[in-house]
Homo-oligomer: A and B are copies of this chain.
Amino acid sequence: MHSAQTDKPDVIIREVALRDGLQSEPGFVATGDKLRLIRALAAAGVVFLETTSFVSPRAIPQLKDARELMARVPRDLLCHEVMVPNIRGARAAADAGADRLIVFVSASETHNRKNVGCSIEQSMADLGAISGLAAGGNMAVAAAIATAFGCPYEGRVDKSAVLAIARRFVHEGADRITLADTTGMANPKQITETVAFFKDHLPHTQICLHLHNNRGLAAANLYAGYLAGIEMFDTSLGGIGGCPNVPMAAGNLATEDVANMFEAMGVRTGMDINGLIRAAGLLENILGRALPGQVMKSGTSA
C-alpha cells in the first residue's frame, strides 16, 4: 500500500493502461515490459494502478501473467488494484498481494453476458465471499459498473438501476464505485445529472469515472464530472484501451493529457507530466505504433 502523502493532490488519476489498455492489444506484452512501464509510471507520480486482472487466461491471454507480474511489481508508494470476476480470482489476487480488489458487473444484462458470460446476478453471487476474504486479508474492495451511461446492445441505461447495483456493492463493503462509460455513450449533461444523483444517494461513497472516447466526448465528460465534484478519474497512458467485447470500442483518455489539463487549470494531480510523456513514449516503443495521446505529440500546455 502507498504511504501517506503530505502533498495531497486535488484529483486522483488512476492508471488503467496495464489492464484496460493492454487487454485490448492484439498481442501479449512481456512481463518485463509491463514492469518497465510500472516503474516509469511510478517515477512520474502515479500511485493508483489497475495492475492486472485475475481472469481466465483463455478469455484474456494478455493478462495471463497476472501472478508473475504481481510477484515482481514495485510496492513502494503504489496501490496495486486488481480486477477479479469471482471468488476464485479474488483468492488468487489476495495470494498475489493485491492492495485492493476490484469487483465489477455491467449495468446491462446483455453486456454482462457478452463480457463475462453470465448474468448480473451470477456476477454478483460471490460478492459476500469476496468481501469476507478482503476483510480477512486487510484489503480494500472497490466496484466498477460497466455500461453505466448506456449500452451498445440495450441502449439507454436507467441511473436508478445503476444505483441499485452500486448500493449492493456498498452494502458488501465497497468503499468506491466506478461508473464506467464503457462505450463512450455519455454526454456532459448526463454525467452532471448522474454524479449529482449518486452524491445525493450515496454521499459517503467515493465515485470514480471511467470514460471512453467512442463519440469524442470523453474529455468533455471528464470536465463535467470534475465540475460536479468528482475527484477520481481512470485514465490510460497514451490513451490506449477499449473493451474487447464492444464493437468499435475507442480508447480511454490519455493519462498525460488529463494530467496536463488539470495542472494547466491549477488543479494538482501529484504527477510529473514530462515523466508521463516519457512513460507514454516507452509504451509506444513497446507496442510499436503511434498512440492516440496528444500531449505526447504536442508537449505540455506550460
Binding site for B on A (CB under 8 A): 150, 183-185, 187-190, 213-220, 222-224, 227, 239, 248, 250, 253-254, 257-258, 260-261, 264-266, 293-295, 297-301
Contact = CB atoms under 8 A, between A and B. Distances in A.
A183 B184 CA distance: 25
Given A214-B294, A294-B213, A265 B189 contact: yes
- Tell me how many chains of this kind the complex includes: 2
A240 to B, nearest CB: 14
Given A223-B224, A224-B223, A294 B216 contact: yes
A250 B297 contact: yes
Contacts of A258: 216
User: Looking at A218, A220, A227, which has the most chain B CB atoms within 10 Å of its CB?
Assistant: A220
A267 to B, nearest CB: 8
- The 6 A-B pairs of least Cβ separation, nearest first, read A216-B257, A216-B294, A220-B223, A187-B264, A189-B265, A219-B220
A261 B298 contact: no
Contacts of A187: 261, 264-265, 301
**Most chain B CB neighbours (cut-off 10 Å) among A150, A239, A299:** A299
